[in-house]
Structure formats: C-alpha cells, structure tokens
Amino acid sequence: MTDPSHFVEIRHAQKSFGALEVLKDISLTVERGQIVGIIGSSGSGKSTLLRAINDLDPLTGGEVWLDGVQVNQKLSHRKYEKHINQMRQQVGMVFQHFNLFPHMTARENVTMAPLMLKGISKEEANTLAKEQLDKVGMLERIDYYPSQLSGGQKQRVAIARALAMKPKLMLFDEATSALDPELVEEVNLVMRKLAEEHMTMIIVTHEMDFAASVCDRVLFMDQGVVVEEGPPDVLFRNPTQPRTREFLRKHLEGAK
C-alpha cells in the first residue's frame, strides 16, 4: 500500500467484539485543519471508530494513519507501547464524562503529562497551565479541584489538559452529552474557538445544530457503516439515504 497522503487516514477499519461486528470496513480521511463530525444513534459504532484513532479500542482489521505514520502498527509489545505513547501525545482526547483526575487541581491536571513526558520545567509548566486554562476561560479556577467545578467547567479543564500536550488532532467523544443543557454552550464555545484556530478535530456528537455550524463535513453512521457523508448543509438539509432521513427526523422530534 502506498503511503497515505491525507492527514488522518482510516483504511478498511473493522472491529468485532466476539460475534458482534461494530465497525464494518470503514474508510475515512481527514485533512489538516478540517473539522469532521460523526453523528448516529447509540451503538452505531461512532465512539468505537473515534477511539480506534488513538488505539484506545484497537481495530480487529484495517489501518489508522496519522500524519504519515501508522498508528496501529503490528509491533512487539515493548516497541508498540513506546510507539503508541508517542502517537497518543499528538492526539488530544476529550471524553463524555471528563475523566479529570480528582486528586489533582485544574493546574495539576493540565501540567501532569507535559511535566512527565515533555521534560518541561516547573516554571514552564506553570506558564503552560495558565495559558491553557485561560484559553478555556478557567484561569481563575486554576487551583480548584474537579469536585469544586461544574460539569461544563470540568469539561473545559479537560480540554485544556488535552491541549497542553500541543496535539495535532483533537478527538471529542460526546463532549457535551453528560452536561446539563445550560452548561453545553460554554463547552461549545471553547470548541468553536479551537475551530477558528484551525485545529483538526473529529467530533462525535448528538448535537446536530452544533455539528451543522462548526463542521466542514459530517458523517452519519449506522450499524457499523458510514451511511452518508457530506458538507453539513447537504447532509442535514438534503440527505440522500433513507436511513439518514429517518435518523434526522427522529432526532428532530426528540429535540422538540
């Protein structure tokens, strides 16, 4: 196979849990600076696909490439560990349930990985924490523990934590799904800001309005396949596939 010319390239991704096939031969490319949304109902495989990109859920078949390097290389255990840790440093991930480290302050959450992995000094870490927390509007809570923060604030700190590693790519796994409705916007705002800075992002979301306004391209997934993909105004306004129409109709009803 030729080297990939795309920034992110997923080739024939296949994933089974026992007899259950959750990803069926999915191929996908993302260019540098692009923002791709993935929508679909629960169990459609969208989170699994996202988590395959940094090999958190390893694929059973297929390849994932990032910036010319294959992520899911077949290596000996030791070599693979070294390789994947290297790759993951370049990919930020934001989870539905934040997964902040509860025994660390916002500052410590943001600086732990850079301090351990990038060999930066305490002062540099301090500057980094302020810079990243300021970016997500959480500077004044720098010494708060996660338990002292609201859901939206936690998620903003989690984004700052991911950004502190200066990733090339950001993955968002339903970043606002666990939030109270009134807290969603503050997280969306941060994500929009990243979009303006041309951060490459892959966003799994249930929020059609947000996906429509921020993404360059949206994929609709169902039962382990990409049913339809296209620019948001086409996919949301004039979907060609019946399954997409059905999903969007149900979603619209649910939102009412």
Partner 1 sequence: MGLGFTIIPKYLDVILLGCAWTIGITLAAAILSFIGGILFAVIALYAPWLIRQPFRLIEWLFMGTPLLLQLFLIYFGLVQIGIDLPAFVAGIIGLGLHFAVYNSELIQTAILSVDKGQMEAARTLGLSRTEALRKVVVPQAVRAVIPPIGNNMIALLKDSALVSVIGVSELTLSAQRVIGRTYRPFEFYLMAAACYYVINLAMEWLQRKIERRISISR
Kindly list the residues in this chain that would bind partner 1 in the complex (CB under 8 A).
54, 56, 81, 85-86, 88-89, 91-93, 95, 97, 99-103, 112-113, 116-117, 145, 147-148, 158, 161-162, 165
Measured between alpha carbons, how far is 218 from 203 in angstroms, rounded to an integer? Answer: 9
CB 171, min distance to partner 1, A = 9
Q: Between residues 171 and 235, which has the closer beta carbon with respect to partner 1?
A: 171
CB 56, min distance to partner 1, A = 6
CB 253, min distance to partner 1, A = 32
Q: Between residues 203 and 218, which has the closer beta carbon with respect to partner 1?
A: 203
Q: Between residues 95 and 220, which has the closer beta carbon with respect to partner 1?
A: 95
Q: Between residues 199 and 208, which has the closer beta carbon with respect to partner 1?
A: 199
Q: Between residues 155 and 244, which has the closer beta carbon with respect to partner 1?
A: 155
Residue 67 falls in which region: left (phi positive, over 0), alpha (psi -120 to 50) or beta: left
Q: Between residues 55 and 228, which has the closer beta carbon with respect to partner 1?
A: 55
CB 97, min distance to partner 1, A = 6
CB 151, min distance to partner 1, A = 14
- Orientation angle between helical segments 151-163 and 181-196, nearest 10 degrees: 20
CB 89, min distance to partner 1, A = 4
